[in-house]
Amino acid sequence: MGKLSDALAVLDKPAVLAAVQEGIEAGTDPLQLVEEARLGLEAVGREFDKGNYFLMELLRAAQIFKDAVALLTPKIKERYGSAASRGTVVIGTVAGDVHDLGKNIVRDLLQCNGFEVIDLGVDVPAARFVEAIRQHKPKVVGMSALLSAAVTQVGRTVEAIEEAGLRDEVKIIVGGGIVGEVKRHTLRVDHATTNANEGIGVILDWFGREQA
């Protein structure tokens, strides 16, 4: 790990931005700087898994990462035209539920990991998920559900995706509140969790496996 990733690992925003600036001025490949920052983010994720960092630190790391990437984006465009995306994920909080905390954290972490995220917002009807799958052709659909009734709504949304004949084209992950305590097969999804970092790991695995 270098200076940039070390600074991100300890959530030192001024040091991260200074290291990025230094790298830009030294003519370092901006994608290499993004990769260094990502290593720092991964270190934060490991600390989270060990119980040394908590959700707020994870959120803070994503914020610092995004600030660093914002400095680098013009340089990336200058050199490469546009940044390559790792893939597309459609995400939203299901109908009847307006909680967006968990969804936003996962969205930010996915973006930090190079995914294009189509965020459908909160209180998203099943039909809107179906429409977004048709339009954006994501490999993964993420649904957030905090309330117990929203968990039922996850089932309805999965049903709508099945009825539209799209179920085999996407992996579905559901997160938030009590969903981690509901048996996965009851929801007919590919993964259910209450842990944002775990969810990101699962999605990375899915994309990794498909790329392999």
Render 106-128 in DSSP notation, one character per residue: HHHHHHHTT-EEEE--SSB-HHH
Tell me how far apart the alpha carbons of residues 99 and 124 are, in angstroms, rounded to a whole number: 11
Number of residues interacting with another protein: please give it, by CB under 8 A.
Answer: 34
Which is closer to another protein, CB of 3 or CB of 13?
A: 13
Tell me how far apart the alpha carbons of residues 100 and 160 are, in angstroms, rounded to a whole number: 22
Task: Name the minimum Å distance from CB 102 to another protein.
Answer: 9
Q: Look up residue 189 and give its DSSP letter.
A: -
Contact region for another protein (CB under 8 A) — 2-10, 33-41, 131-139, 144-152? 144-152
- Which uninterrupted H or E stretch holds 61? helix 55-80
Note whether 148 binds another protein by CB under 8 A: yes
Which is closer to another protein, CB of 76 or CB of 187?
A: 187
Note whether 188 binds another protein by CB under 8 A: no
Q: Look up residue 142 and give its DSSP letter.
A: E
Per-residue x/- mask for another protein, residues 83 to 122, rule CB under 8 A? Answer: ------------xxxxxxx--x---x--------------
Encoded tokens for 9: 């690992």
Which is closer to another protein, CB of 161 or CB of 182?
A: 182
